[in-house]
Amino acid sequence: MRARATAAVVAARCEQLSARDRPGADDGRRWGLAVGALAVAWISAIALIGPLLVEREIDASQAAAADQNIASAIDHAERARSIEPWAASPYVQLGLLAELEREHDYVLLRGGLDGSEWSRFCLRQADRVVVLTPATPPPAGLAPPDGCDVLFLEAPTTEDVAAWFARADVRTHHVVPVDTELSAAAGRVARRLTGQSLGLVLSGGGARAFAHIGVLEVLEGEGLEIDRLGGCSMGAFIGAMTALGWRPETMIEVCRRELAQRAPFSDYTIPRHALIRARRAASMLKRMFGELALEQLARPLYTVSADLVSSRMVIHRTGSIVDTVGASMAIPGLAPPVSRESQLLVDGGVLNNLPVDVMVADEPGPVVAVDVMRRLDSAGVHLEQGPLLPTIVETLSRATVLGSVERAEANRLLADVLVAPDVQDVPLRGFRSLDRAVDAGRRAAEQALADGALETIEEARRLGAPVTIAAAAHS
C-alpha cells in the first residue's frame, strides 16, 4: 500500500450496479453516483439512493453539497478505473480487489442483502459492512450480518433502532436526515467510517461548564466539525445542545434564560432524599429537549451516570435525553437519585467526570477533551488564615467529583487535545457568571489552537487504518 500524501487518500471506484439494476435514462439522476470513491462517492450515493428508500425527491443541489462537503472532509480525493463485477469470475474479482487494496487506503464495495454471489463476495471481503435502510424496523426474514453498521435515512423512532439491534449484533448506527442537514450528516458518516471523526468530551463542573460553550464557539470558527460527543453532568447538558446542532449564541441565550434567570436548582425541600426536589430542573430539560432520544440524534452523544446499587458507571447511548442528561446531573445529596429499573442513578462525576476513555474505546479518530474541574493547586494556602468555608451545595458539588479526580487525570492523557479553561473563580453554582465562564472557554481554546491543536488533530487523522467497506442497501 502506498504512503499517504495527505490526511487520507480515498478509495477506488470499484463496483457498479448489478446487470439487473443498471439505470435506464429515467433513473440516471438517482443511480448515477450509486458507487464511488471511498465515502465521498458512497455518501453522494446516499443522496441519490435516498429517494428510492424513503420515497422523497432529493434536490440536486443537496446532492452536490453532500459531495463537496465530504470531499473537503476527506481532504483529498482521486478516482480509479471502474470494474464490472457481474462480468468477472470470483477469482478475477478477488484479484481486482487485492490490486485496489494495495493502491488505496479505502475501498468501497456496494452490494445488497439479496443473497446474490456479488453481495456474498462483498460481505466476505469487507472489513466493515454498512446497511442502508429507511427509518423503519427490519422487514421479516431479513438477516443483517453481525457486526454491521446500520445507517438510517431520516431520523428513526426509538422502536426502529431497538428492532435493528435486536435482529443482529449491530456495531453502531448512523442517522442521516434527508433534508437541509444531509450534507453535514453525510460528511460525519464518512469521517466515522474512515477513522477520522472528531470526538469532543465535556467534563462536569456546574456553572464552570459554561466554558464549554466558549470552546465550541472557537472550534466552530476554525471550521472544525464535531462528529461525536460525550459528556458528564453539566458537560452532558452542553453536549446535548451541541448534538442537536445548536449554535453557541443560542446556547448562551438558552442558558441565561433557563439557568441564570429561572434558577432550576432552587426548589428546596425538607431534606429526606435530597436538598431539592429537582422538579424545576426536570421541567427545564423537558422544555429544551422534549421527547427526543439519544439514538435519534444525527450527531451521536453518550452521557455517563453512576449507579448507587451496583457501584458502577452507566454509559447512556439510548433513552430519553431528558432522563439520561438528568441522571448525569443528579448530584448526590443535592438532587434525588433517578430511579431506572433496578438502578439508582446519580451524577456521573462520582466515578468518571471526564469520560474520554469511553470515547477512545468507541471508535478511532482524534479526541478533544475540555476539563473545567482541574485539581486545585493548594500551594500557598494556609489554614490559619481561615479560608472561607463553602456552602453545603458547593461542598456536595465538589465532593461529587473527588472520587474521580485520579481517573480524570489519566483520561486527560488519552485525549489528543486537552483544553482546560481557567474557571476556578467561577462558583460551581454560579450560573449568573455565564459570560465570565464562556470568555474563559474562548481564551483556553484560542491558546490550544496557538499551541498546535489543529496540527495535532490532522496528525491523528492520518493514523486511521486502511479499510474495505461494503454498503448494502435494502428498501
Which DSSP helix (H) or strand (E) runs through 53?
helix 38-54
What the block records as the C-alpha cell of 134 is: 429507511
CA distance 211 to 474: 44
Among candidates 319, 334, 339, which has minimal Cα distance to 393?
A: 334
- CA 225 remoteness from chain centre: 11
Q: Choosing from 67, 227, 347, 362, which is the catalytic residue?
A: 347
Q: Choosing from 44, 119, 197, 233, which is the catalytic residue?
A: 233
In angstroms, what CA-CA distances link 192 with 173, 180, 227, 323, 467?
11, 20, 8, 27, 12
| Strand ordering across the sheet containing 149-153 | 106-111, 467-473, 128-134, 149-153, 172-176
In angstroms, what CA-CA distances link 100 with 109, 357, 468?
11, 35, 10
Burial of 341 (0-12, 13-18, 19+ CB in 10 A): exposed
Among candidates 56, 356, 407, which has minimal Cα distance to 232?
A: 356
Q: What's the half-sphere exposure (Cβ side, CA atoms, 13 Å) at 355?
A: 31
User: Which residue bears the cell 428508500?
Assistant: 53
Residue 86 gets which letter from DSSP?
G
Q: What are the backbone dihedrals phi and psi of residue 232, each rounded to the nearest 5 degrees, phi first? A: -125, 135
CA distance 288 to 353: 23
- Give me the numbers of helices (H) and strands (E) for the chain, helices first please: 17, 13
Which DSSP helix (H) or strand (E) runs through 276?
none
Three-state DSSP class for 418? strand
Active site residue 347: yes
Burial of 190 (0-12, 13-18, 19+ CB in 10 A): buried
Q: Which residues are catalytic?
A: 233, 347
